[in-house]
Amino acid sequence: MVVLLIQQLERLQITMTNQTQPSNQTNDQTVKEPTIRTENVKVYYGDALAVRDVTLDMYRNEITAFIGPSGCGKSTILRCFNRLNDLIAGAKVEGTITFEGQNLYSKKVDPVEVRRRIGMVFQKPNPFPKSIYENIAFGARINGYQGNMDELVESTLRQAALWEEVKDKLKENGLSLSGGQQQRLCIARAIAIQPEVILLDEPCSALDPISTYNIEKLLTDLKEKYTLIIVTHNMQQASRISDRTAFFNAEPTPKGKQGYLVEYDETETIFQTPAQEATQQYVTGAFG
């Protein structure tokens, strides 16, 4: 009887594991649904078309990297995913972007709620000028967190691999930390409000190699739980940590540079056997 119960529980656990961690094409033929899907997305700033042809599927428990030369629209596209472009006067998004199957730009969607579910970490670490503790607690409190705040702060800082370094100085200002620690604090702050997706725009570009290594390791751990999308100029970083890579390029037009998506595939393919000549040239450092 007990053995039967255990077997049933195991079976249930396997089913649940398959549900929470779908793969693209699993043995039981279930097809993985993208967390974020873009179809023919274009973004304008005023009359100028800044980036076009962006069709991408991005998945849970994966890291998707955006690479490409400066000005090709990587940050612009990333900002579309949590509707940050709404805050830029003249910015206009065309095409379709869905998040968990829902049109992200539907009138029914509240951009504030989108930004809670899809967090963002920027290039320059930007902790609040408050205590380390408050950097985590502040957003959670605003979002109506009712649980034990000390526990949330600890578990979040542990998830961000920062707890051991800061546990004895939680009252100190977040700005007193090193750049790498500040960036992990910003990642912790993003995690504290329990997002589903974390967008990271060149999160390591201001960091030394050891801090960069720590962030990369952290991101690899975090993908067990989240959908991660990272913009990076560091080719090794994209090939080390990402599952899929989107290569963007830009071409001159009479109205200035215009970015476009060249190719999107599994990272190994993009770095080893890309379909496009331009991708091959970029990943081998011939331009950019």
Ligand X SMILES: Nc1ncnc2c1ncn2[C@@H]1O[C@H](COP(=O)(O)OP(=O)(O)OP(=O)(O)O)[C@@H](O)[C@H]1O
Residues lying near ligand X in the complex (CB under 6 A) are found at 45, 50-51, 68, 70-76, 88, 256-257, 259
Smallest gap, in angstroms, from Cβ of residue 285 to ligand X? 16
Q: Which does 72 bind (CB under 5 to 8 A by kind): Mg ion, ligand X, none?
A: ligand X
Name the phi and psi angles at 161, rounded to 5.
Answer: 55, 40
212 binds Mg ion (CB under 5 A): no
Smallest gap, in angstroms, from Cβ of residue 23 to ligand X? 30
**Which lies closer to ligand X via its Cβ, residue 55 or residue 173?**
55
Output the six-digit token pair for 178. 């090193």
Number of residues that bind Mg ion (CB under 5 A): 1
**Which lies closer to ligand X via its Cβ, residue 50 or residue 222?**
50
**Which lies closer to Mg ion via its Cβ, residue 75 or residue 227?**
75
Task: Tell me which residue has its CB nearest to Mg ion.
Answer: 75
Smallest gap, in angstroms, from Cβ of residue 51 to ligand X? 6
75 binds Mg ion (CB under 5 A): yes
Output the six-digit token pair for 108. 């029914």
Alpha carbons within 13 angstroms on the beta-carbon side of residue 197 total: 24
**Which lies closer to ligand X via its Cβ, residue 52 or residue 225?**
52
Smallest gap, in angstroms, from Cβ of residue 27 to ligand X? 39
* Sign, Cα dihedral of 118, 119, 124, 129: positive
Smallest gap, in angstroms, from Cβ of residue 231 to Mg ion? 6
Beta strands 48-58 and 256-266 are: parallel
Q: Residue 227's closest CA among 99, 105, 97?
A: 99
**Which lies closer to Mg ion via its Cβ, residue 64 or residue 75?**
75
Q: Which does 76 bind (CB under 5 to 8 A by kind): Mg ion, ligand X, none?
A: ligand X
Which parts of this chain interact with Mg ion (CB under 5 A)? 75
